[in-house]
Amino acid sequence: MADALDAATLVELSVLSAIELQCEWAVEHLRILKGHAGKLQMKRGTRQEWNRMFAERSAVFREIQSVLTCAAITDSLLTGKGPPRPKGLEGVSKAQRASIRAKLNLPPDFVIPGRPQRNALIHIEERRVPWSRPGSMRGDMMTSPTRIPDHPGNRQTLRAFSVNPLEFQILGERCNLDDLEASLQLLRHAANRAADGVLAEGNAKLSALDRAVRS
């Protein structure tokens, strides 16, 4: 199969496969996240229950970070917007990225939500320094069964999560995780279809070569 595909097409197939995999991982982390979110309600005021709640809350934010990491990698593969490329390493060209985007056949306004939150987690140090100064600290890893009200105190909470709606926020910047999941599912299926199309083209080329050899 590889012999029937040129180098640029092989790169596109590799990127499409990577996009599909990152979307799959993000969706799986969201599934795990929802399982932990369903266990956040305090049942009784015992020390054991407090320890259980802390573990569930920690797991929620761990999975959020995993989801956003996968989303960031996916976004970088799709748009080329990511950390600076290491010197001497080659990336996907603009022409190749445009070809990948065309094969995906996404809506013109398609975006992967949560970029401000992803950037904030990457640059968490710059958020922690002012947040941790005397008189500024307002809490971290706050959870709520319902939407977190938008007021100054909550906007100074470092990280917060609500179950319904399923939202994550960092210093007041919100990301709806259901919207994020919908965009990743759309992209996942688009990448799968696009990769299948590339492979079909490769099979067609192989068949043509075979016919040419036999004739």
Give the per-residue pLDDT at 5: 64
Using CA atoms, how far residue 29 sits from 36, 94, 140, in Å, is 11, 31, 21
173, β-bridge pairs: 170
pLDDT of residue 120 exceeding 70, the answer is yes
Q: Name the least confident of 58-62, 86-90, 127-131, 152-156.
A: 86-90
Q: What is the mean pLDDT of the chain?
A: 88
pLDDT of residue 136 exceeding 80, the answer is no
pLDDT of residue 171 exceeding 80, the answer is yes
Q: How far apart are CA 39 and CA 184, in angstroms?
A: 25
User: What would the pLDDT profile of 7-53 be if each residue is shown by its tens digit?
Assistant: 778 888 999 999 999 999 999 999 999 999 999 987 777 899 999 99
Q: How far apart are CA 101 and CA 103, in angstroms?
A: 5
The pairs formed by 200-204 with CB atoms below 8 angstroms and a separation of 24 or more are 201/5, 201/9, 202/1, 202/4, 202/5, 202/9, 203/1, 203/4
Give the per-residue pLDDT at 137: 64
Number of H helices, E strands in the chain: 7, 4
Q: Which residue, 17, 27, 107, 113, is CA-closest to 67? A: 27
The H or E element spanning position 207 is helix 177-214
Q: Residue 145 gets which letter from DSSP?
A: E
Residue 165: is the preceding peptide bond cis (ω within 30°)?
Answer: yes
Q: Which amino acid is at 175?
A: C
Domain ranges across the chain: 2-82+92-214
